[in-house]
Amino acid sequence: MLVTFPLSYPISKLLDSILGQEIGTVYNREKLVEMLKVTEPYNDLVREELNMIQGALELRTKTVEDVMTPLQNCFMISSDAILDFNTMSEIMESGFTRIPVFEEERSNIMDILYVKDLAFVDPDDCTPLKTITKFYNHPVHVVFHDTK
């Protein structure tokens, strides 16, 4: 390497000045998504992985309104509810892990109930829901529908 250095260094500098610096290829989000679609038959990614990558690339253009469930379609529970067997069954059958807790009207969401918080609640004790929500006090994040 030391033997060829006096010859190779000036040649490399000459070629750099003539050819210029190499500029890498830059792709925007849309081109990346199209490249994923075109190369789908040839890459070893599973379909779910491709959907996840495409979803992550398209996330910037989506608003909260596109992603979230409308309030009228949400499973909610009143803050005055008592955690008896029927209420606990209804919560478990809903299939959701986070349940909005409203006070008086459905648009007035005061808290979030995590189903995992009910792990040590005995339905026979008829515990008020307010006791659980005040103990864990999970924050409610409020955003506008057009937030990206």
Any idea what DSSP says for residue 113? E
Q: Three-state SS for 100? A: strand
> Which residues, given as ranges, of the chain have pLDDT below 70?
1
Contact indicator for 147, 64 with CB cutoff of 8 Å: yes
116 inside domain: yes
101 inside domain: yes
Rounded Cα distance, 36 and 145, in Å: 30
53 inside domain: yes
Across the chain, mean pLDDT equals 86
Q: What is the pTM of this model?
A: 0.62
How many domains does one find in the chain?
A: 2
Range(s) of the domain holding residue 57:
29-61
The burial class, CB within 10 Å (0-12 / 13-18 / 19+), for 104 is exposed
What pLDDT score was predicted for residue 96? Answer: 92
What pLDDT score was predicted for residue 80? Answer: 94
Contact indicator for 115, 93 with CB cutoff of 8 Å: no
Rounded Cα distance, 145 and 134, in Å: 27
Dihedrals φ, ψ of 128, to 5°?
-65, 140
